[in-house]
């Protein structure tokens, strides 16, 4: 009887195994095909004319690609830091048993349910010079107020940061809040009895205890940085000029508009490297922790 129940529990997982293998095979197969194509002279159609690492040399000789990497680095640092700080502060605020907690959580998390295209279009209007935020402030009696970052070549990437931080901070809040709710309330009581300021409690005690939550949040945000595309297309189209160009847009433009599959594939493989560099240590740490927990059990 016990064996029969065990078999019944395993049946759904066994049924899903072929589908999982198909998905995994398609993912790995697509990645390998892209890697192979990056070493060929493929243009409009795939080619078997292998040219070694020439596409990668061309890629890193391309000023547009180098600018896109610079923009991604600036965006990534600002986006991750802002999201983690704002998300953590929101989680701390909600964790104080405030009234309307359910409503607040919904309000803060709702932007994440929106598509990046919708978010980009809304913020494009809000940041447009002469209207949106600038127009509203001027109508409030500040005619000299100017907020033209979206048309400023040196500042336009920060407008993308503003829009995407607004969208992603709610997710960070939800994950951080889940971590905070797992901390023993007695720790806060002991800290108050010892006269430790609240900011030191959160900075020196709570944050270290949120290590797994912080690692998960960082991984999600970092992969979102690498994938940045929709918000840029919706807000700036990579402009003014190519000032807000990002690697994903460079790849898509060369794949569909410039018919250069080989160069686009080289860019895609280059973007895959940091993703694997982020995922591999995380996957190793999780598997090692699972083995240790299993051995302890």
The string of pLDDT tens digits covering residues 54-65 is 999 999 999 999
Indicate whether 23 pLDDT > 90.
no
Tell me the pLDDT band of 29, cut-offs 50, 70 and 90.
confident
The whole-number pLDDT of residue 182 equals 87
Whether residue 245 lies inside any domain: the answer is no
Rounded CA gap, 247 and 65, in Å? 7
Whether residue 119 lies inside any domain: the answer is yes
Q: Where are the alpha helices (DSSP H) in the chain?
A: 2-37, 54-61, 63-94, 101-113, 116-127, 132-139, 156-181, 185-193, 198-200, 207-209, 211-226, 230-235, 247-252, 261-296
Rounded CA gap, 158 and 166, in Å? 12
State the first-to-last Cα distance of the chain, in angstroms, to the nearest integer: 25
Tell me the pLDDT band of 26, cut-offs 50, 70 and 90.
confident
The whole-number pLDDT of residue 17 equals 63
Dig out the tokens for 223 from the structure: 């992969």
The whole-number pLDDT of residue 265 equals 92
Whether residue 1 lies inside any domain: the answer is no
- Percentage of the chain with pLDDT > 70? 91
Of 41-45, 91-95, 138-142, 155-159, give the range with the top mean pLDDT.
Answer: 155-159
Residues 6 or more apart whose Cβ sits within 8 Å of residue 42: 49, 260, 261, 262, 265
Whether residue 52 lies inside any domain: the answer is no
Cα torsion through 289, 293, 296, 297, rounded to 10: -170
Arithmetic mean of pLDDT, 68-79: 96
Indicate whether 106 pLDDT > 60.
yes
Tell me the pLDDT band of 196, cut-offs 50, 70 and 90.
confident
SS3 of residue 129 by DSSP: coil
Whether residue 145 lies inside any domain: the answer is yes
Mean predicted lDDT score pLDDT of the chain:
85
Structure confidence by residue, pLDDT tens digits, 123-142: 999 998 888 888 888 889 88
Whether residue 3 lies inside any domain: the answer is no
Tokens 């300021």 -> residue: 197
Indicate whether 201 pLDDT > 80.
yes
Indicate whether 192 pLDDT > 60.
yes
Range of the domain at 212: 74-239
Cα torsion through 144, 147, 151, 153, rounded to 10: 110
Dig out the tokens for 37 from the structure: 């194509």
Indicate whether 250 pLDDT > 60.
yes
The whole-number pLDDT of residue 3 equals 46
Indicate whether 297 pLDDT > 70.
no
The whole-number pLDDT of residue 141 equals 86
The whole-number pLDDT of residue 9 equals 54
Rounded CA gap, 164 and 158, in Å? 10
Per the CB < 8 A criterion, the answer to whether 231 and 120 are in contact is yes
Please give the DSSP secondary-structure letter assigned to residue 150. Answer: G
Please give the DSSP secondary-structure letter assigned to residue 260. Answer: -
- Residue-level length of the chain: 297
Q: What are phi and psi of 36, to 5 degrees?
A: -60, -45
What's the domain count of the chain? Answer: 1
Rounded CA gap, 32 and 48, in Å? 14
Whether residue 173 lies inside any domain: the answer is yes
Whether residue 44 lies inside any domain: the answer is no
Tell me the pLDDT band of 174, cut-offs 50, 70 and 90.
very high
- Percentage of the chain with pLDDT > 90? 38
The whole-number pLDDT of residue 150 equals 92
CATH number assigned to the domain comprising residue 233? 1.10.3720.10
Question: Model pTM?
Answer: 0.86
Dig out the tokens for 142 from the structure: 């500040």
The whole-number pLDDT of residue 203 equals 86
The whole-number pLDDT of residue 161 equals 95
The whole-number pLDDT of residue 89 equals 93
Rounded CA gap, 235 and 228, in Å? 12
The whole-number pLDDT of residue 32 equals 85
The whole-number pLDDT of residue 75 equals 96
Q: What are phi and psi of 40, to 5 degrees?
A: -120, 170
Tokens 């998905």 -> residue: 23
The whole-number pLDDT of residue 280 equals 77
């Amino acid at each position: 009887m016990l064996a029969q129940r065990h078999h019944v529990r395993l049946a759904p997982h066994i049924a899903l195994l072929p589908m999982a293998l198909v998905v995994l095979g398609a993912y790995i197969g697509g990645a390998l095909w892209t890697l192979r194509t990056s070493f060929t002279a493929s243009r409009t159609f795939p080619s078997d004319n292998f040219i070694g690492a020439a596409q990668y040399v061309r890629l890193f000789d391309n000023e547009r690609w180098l600018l896109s990497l610079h923009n991604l680095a600036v965006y990534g640092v600002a986006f991750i830091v802002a999201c983690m700080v704002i998300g953590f502060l929101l989680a701390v605020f909600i964790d104080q048993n405030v009234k309307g907690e359910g409503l607040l959580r919904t309000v803060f998390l709702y932007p994440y349910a929106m598509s990046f295209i919708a978010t980009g279009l809304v913020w494009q209007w809000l940041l447009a010079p002469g209207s949106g935020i600038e127009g509203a402030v001027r109508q409030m009696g500040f005619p000299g107020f100017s907020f033209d970052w979206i048309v400023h070549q040196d500042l336009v990437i920060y407008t993308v940061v503003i829009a995407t931080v607004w969208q992603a901070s709610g997710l960070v809040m939800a994950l951080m809040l889940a971590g905070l709710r797992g901390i023993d309330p007695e720790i806060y009581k002991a800290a108050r009895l010892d006269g430790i300021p609240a900011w030191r409690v959160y900075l020196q005690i709570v944050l270290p205890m949120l290590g797994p939550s912080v690692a998960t949040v960082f991984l999600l945000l970092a992969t979102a940085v690498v994938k940045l595309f929709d918000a840029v297309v919706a807000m700036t189209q990579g402009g003014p000029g190519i000032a807000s160009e990002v690697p994903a847009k460079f790849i898509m433009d060369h794949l569909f508009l410039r018919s250069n599959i080989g160069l686009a594939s080289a860019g895609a493989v280059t973007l895959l490297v940091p993703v694997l560099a982020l995922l591999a240590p995380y996957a190793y740490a999780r598997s090692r922790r699972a083995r240790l927990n299993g051995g302890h059990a």
